[in-house]
Amino acid sequence: MNLSPDEVRSRLEKGNKKYVASLFSTLDTSEELREYLNENGQSPYAVVIACSDSRVNPEAAFSAGLGELFTIRSAGQALLEGEISSVAYAVDHLHVGYILVLGHTRCGAVDSVLKCAKDPNLAKLLGFVKEGVAGENDPRKAEINNVNFGVRLLKERFPGTTVEGAIYDIRSGLVNWLN
């Protein structure tokens, strides 16, 4: 899909309005579409980097069917090596020009950083989120800082793309862009 960054954003915003109004039950996952994508390959219009939290579902939140979003998920939407490589694949090989870093309210990864949780298995992941949170103690502001950190990092790494940040409210379902 050859959409400008503004067109992508407006499509995502419209999709989210539909979702919030609970009109999203017609996500296109049809047999026809599967057949089309099988024959023609994918050309998603956006990369979405979201938290793995089970209360966040990017495709549903944007009323997006199969083939629309290239979604990467990790706890706290931490951008470690694998996540960055996945973005690189979408940008370099699928020519996606719009990237959205999607944080959310009540993020457990951000909360763990605020509570100074220590778990050697999570060291790299929490290290990323800690850098993102940048010493902020207020959970809402910390979530925003963490999203902006991802945005800055991706803007630097993928200069030809549009990178934006947003927060998904797990209570209302609303996505609020940070810019």
Q: In this complex, which beta carbon is closest to Zn ion, that of residue 97 or of residue 173?
A: 173
Candidate ranges 23-31, 53-61, 132-140, 164-172; the one touching Zn ion (CB under 5 A): 53-61
- For the chain, the distance separating the N- and C-terminal CA atoms, rounded to the nearest angstrom, is 24
Q: In this complex, which beta carbon is closest to Zn ion, that of residue 53 or of residue 83?
A: 53
CA dist 40 and 13 (Å) reads 27
Spatial CA neighbour of 140 closest among 92, 179, 93, 107 = 107
Q: Are 72 and 48 in contact (CB under 8 A)?
A: yes
Least Å distance between CB 39 and Zn ion? 36
Least Å distance between CB 97 and Zn ion? 26
Task: Write out the binding residues for Zn ion, residues 92-131 only, by CB under 5 A.
Answer: 107, 109
Q: In this complex, which beta carbon is closest to Zn ion, that of residue 44 or of residue 132?
A: 132
Q: State residue 69 phi and psi, 5-degree precision.
A: -120, 135
Count, residues near Zn ion per rule CB under 5 A = 4
Q: What is residue 107's DSSP assignment?
A: -
Q: Does 51 bind Zn ion (CB under 5 A)?
A: yes
Q: Are 83 and 49 in contact (CB under 8 A)?
A: yes
Q: In this complex, which beta carbon is closest to Zn ion, that of residue 49 or of residue 109?
A: 109
Residues interacting with Zn ion, by CB under 5 A? 51, 53, 107, 109
